Amino acid sequence: MNESTPLRLAVVGAGPVGLALALHAANALPDAEIALFDSRPANKDVSGDPRTLALSLGSVQLLERLGAWRPESAQPIDEVHVSQYAPSLLAAFASRFGEPELTIRAADEGVPMLGAVLSYGAIVAPLQRVWLETERREPKRLVSRFGASVVALKNVAGGVEVDAGIAERFDLAVVAEGGVLASAANGELVAGERRPALHHDYRQTAWVGTVTFEAPAAGAPSSSGTKGIAYERFTRHGPAALLPLQDGRAGLVWCVDSADDPVRELVAAQRVTVLNTIFHPSTPRLASVSPLKDFPLGLSVERTLTDGRIVRIGNAAQTLHPVAGQGLNLGMRDAFELVRSLAWRRDVDAVLRRLEWQRAPDRWAMIAATDFLARSFTWRLPGAGAARGLGIAALQALGPLKSAIARQMMYGSR
């Protein structure tokens, strides 16, 4: 590629991160030729996918910039409440002063919201709609390859070959999906070599679903459940979280020790009873829980985002524990920074070198933080839980540090 030829960009994966990157590149790189690949059929309706996701304020702002934010489909997060079930070493402290807790409010940070909760379909469907509308306006440089599974990526001189049945040459390929292609991105299909990655099995299981709340007792103040409030509770088994939904329900993420799973053998009524005992006393009481799905939890991280002219972002680059709910937001920031760097300069190799060190502080800080918290639930060291509880209490007392943590969660490292 030189100054007179347009950049040819392949985006592999039409999930939230891949679509956001393709659309941002279409807007910011007006001369670039962009091909978007995904194995799903073009006519498949993704709007009904109910998986619950939490977006940071930075991710919401990116979707707004792309014209793909639909506030009517989202529940803003006005407050985050983090607490820990008091371990034995803190029992006396908790009985007198209360359990360790941390409250972060949008109003205190001077922002309209800390983030928002919405379904996977409510993120992907508007992004795909805007992308297809943009493609229709510029069919000569934008193309969708839905129903095309990418089976191989190969670095070649000055570019990369993308094989989706027919090998095509591009200046740059961005892998933005997990699943089968994540294995290819990890090296099985990249230039015929397997790239080493960081892996760790947390030996934890995440149970996910939705919950409803009890109606307030007669004469009691009206309660809207977790309307606008996200609750995270650290228990001896692992973290549990309630994410507010528009209809007054909440999305549940309940992480437990896989070898000592207190959830699997319980019926729905028993699960409600247990959940009502583990959350903070200020959490509205639960009335029911939906059927839950379980997922094993682990860490999978590529040491670098780039390999020649192949870039990995989102789940193709890192799969994190859900304790901080930051995996998707990290991928969205990767996408934004890559496109911004490409808009500044034409030298693709220089852009990729810059991307590697530019994204490292944000990326590794988030990886380290979530990994530390996830591993801390597996420690059997005396006082480990007490230390985590004291850390929560200290953050609540130190306003400037709490605000810095809030900004990190909203925007990442800047």
What are the pLDDT digits (tens) for 11-33?
A: 999 999 999 999 999 999 999 99
Please give the structure tokens belonging to residue 385. 């839980």
Cα separation, 154 vs 135, in Å, equals 26
Residues 272 and 307 in one domain: no
Residue 65 lies in a domain: no
What are the pLDDT digits (tens) for 347-356?
A: 999 999 999 9
What are the pLDDT digits (tens) for 93-122?
A: 555 556 778 889 999 999 999 999 999 999
Rounded mean pLDDT of the chain?
86
Task: Please count the other Cβ atoms lying within 10 Å of the Cβ belonging to residue 345.
Answer: 10
Q: Residue 310's domain is classified under what CATH number?
A: 3.50.50.60
Residues 38 and 128 in one domain: yes
Residues 260 and 391 in one domain: yes
Instruction: Look up the domain containing 212 and give its range.
Output: 71-117+200-297+378-411
What pLDDT shows up at residue 179? 46
Residues 206 and 287 in one domain: yes
Residues 223 and 285 in one domain: yes
What pLDDT shows up at residue 69? 97
Residues 160 and 209 in one domain: no
Tell me: pLDDT of 235 over 90: no
**What is the domain count for the chain?**
2
Instruction: Please identify which residue in the block is written with the tokens 């994410």.
Output: 243
What pLDDT shows up at residue 217? 63
Please give the structure tokens belonging to residue 319. 């799969």
Identify whether the C-beta of residue 230 lies closer than 8 Å to the C-beta of residue 241: yes
What are the pLDDT digits (tens) for 327-350?
A: 899 999 999 999 999 998 779 999
Residues 100 and 35 in one domain: no
Q: Residue 265's domain is classified under what CATH number?
A: 3.30.9.10
Residue 58 lies in a domain: no
75-77, strands of its sheet edge to edge:
52-56, 115-119, 75-77
Report the pLDDT averaged over residues 236-261.
92
Least confident of 289-293, 307-311, 317-321: 317-321
What is this structure's pTM? 0.87
Tell me: pLDDT of 87 over 90: no
